[in-house]
Amino acid sequence: MLMTECRVPRPRRETEGGAAREATSPSTESARDQKSVESLEAGGLPVSASERLAEARSHHAYTSDLSVAELAAVRRVGFEPLGLVMGSSVYQIGAQWGYRWYGSSGGGYMQAYPCPHSWVHDGMRTGYNWEHTSYEQGILEARQLAMSRLTEEATALGAHGVVGVEMTLRQMEGTLHTIELTLFGTAVIRAGAPPLATPFTCHLSGQEVVKLLEAGYAPAALVMGVCAMEMDPGCGTEARGMSWGNVELPQFSDGVQACRDQAVRHLEEEATAVGDGVVGVQVDFAVRELPQEGKLADMRLVGTAVKRFERSDPPKLSLPILRLTDRRHSLPLSARRGS
């Protein structure tokens, strides 16, 4: 199914009092918008983003979303902030029509639950759990477009990496299948270090980055695993659902577990390509109701892939011990009397 990225025209830039910062005619605005579209299609940045980065490089002051503690932590290991960077994508998700589509070209998970009854009855129906691979691919493609723009902004600032990346994903109002995915973070540089081909990205805080480096690991990239599992109940699941007693609904239990397994598998596949493991995994999980008593399990996993650069174990530090009770009152009564 068709999955395309939607682009919103650039709003007019204004200064105090609502006056235009620069006198631009409709034809000039149209030319700028067309240039932005061409740049995006070529893998570049919009005109407005390029102008903002050029302005940021011309000033000595930086902006960041680092807290005071995070700033102190990253400076302790030689990093300096360069500025806030951002990447976003508005994306139309393609449709996937039923479990039958899976058999021809879906390529995802599917499990059938035939009618368990030994007699023919009205309403005999097989249940299916099946994976929405089009939805998953759309989410990952939107993330990749936003990430490429985030790293391109970081590269334009001369950064070695981006720390504290925050991702927001929401459905656009008034639309059915259009999402907006945005990434924010602080670009950092380490003075004297050689440039990287691609800046690293991570969602770790400044303090966590320091602890990671001290443990012999370096952040590599923000990775993601997505799974959407539809559970269409058959007559067996529906019959169990009408029970007056306590009873498990195996089809739904299997669907949630399969959703988790697929999301983890997708996350590990991304991480294997860039690192040795994933830390700080954040889980966003929901089960939504569908028509005709069906359910959709939606799981998104986000973490930072790390790569080990130091094979020796970190030195063991001595831990301070402080008594929390008065030592005199911990002695026997006779000893206390003689003190």
Q: How many CB atoms lie within 10 A of CB 309?
A: 10
Average pLDDT over residues 225-249: 89
Q: What is the pLDDT of residues 106-119, one digit of tens each?
A: 578 889 998 887 77
Distance of CA 252 to CAs 114, 248, 260, 269, Å? 14, 9, 13, 26
Three-state DSSP at 119 gives: coil
pLDDT (0 to 100) of residue 125? 83
Per-residue DSSP letter, 117: -
- For β-strands 161-171 and 200-201, DSSP reports them as parallel
Average pLDDT in the 156-167 region?
94
Domains and CATH numbers, the chain: 61-91+136-214 (3.30.110.70), 97-131+229-311 (no CATH)
The label of the residue with tokens 């973490």 reads: 303
Instruction: Assess whether pLDDT exceeds 70 at residue 94.
Output: yes
Q: Which pTM does this prediction carry?
A: 0.73
Say whether pLDDT at 241 is over 50.
yes
The rounded distance, in Å, linking the Cα atoms of 290 and 281 is 28
Q: Is the pLDDT higher at 20 or at 200? A: 200
Q: Which residues make Cβ contacts (< 8 Å) with residue 121, sequence separation at least 6?
A: 235
pLDDT higher than 90, residue 254? yes
Decide which of 324 and 76 is more confident. Answer: 76
Q: Give whole-number Cα distances, 274 to 91, 112, 128, 149, in Å.
A: 25, 35, 35, 19
Inter-CA distances, 63 with 58, 88, 189, 222, Å: 13, 19, 14, 22
**Mean pLDDT throughout 191-211?**
91
- pLDDT, residue 330, reads 56
